[in-house]
């Protein structure tokens, strides 16, 4: 099961640039917990993974709509937990 400890930060913003100019990054436990609850219940959620040399983050859950990007960055343990919950990796 995905837990707050398995997450790094959350992003919510308009589609396009994700540098922070069109949305907000947040590292608070409260926001990450809400993102876990909302995103894991959404059938449109997808997983993306990447290789990092450190443990800063190893992937993310994301949902894209016409008006919003929602992203939750995960640790390696978070990626494993998301896969165990049946969240599919992007094609």
pLDDT tens digit string along 3-57? Answer: 999 999 999 999 999 999 999 999 999 999 999 999 999 999 999 999 866 768 8
Distances (CA, A) of 25 to 21, 38, 42, 71: 10, 17, 20, 9
Gap between the Cα atoms of 40 and 47, Å rounded: 11
Per-residue pLDDT for 91 more than 70?
no
Q: Specify the pTM.
A: 0.93
């Amino acid at each position: 099961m995905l837990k707050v400890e398995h997450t790094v930060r959350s992003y919510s913003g308009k589609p396009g640039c994700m540098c922070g100019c069109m949305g907000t990054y947040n590292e608070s436990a409260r926001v990450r917990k809400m993102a876990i609850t909302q995103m894991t219940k959404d059938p449109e959620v997808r997983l993306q993974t990447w290789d990092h040399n450190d443990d800063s983050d190893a992937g993310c859950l994301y949902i894209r709509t016409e008006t919003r990007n929602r992203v939750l960055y995960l640790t390696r343990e978070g990626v494993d937990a998301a896969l165990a919950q049946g969240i599919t990796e992007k094609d």
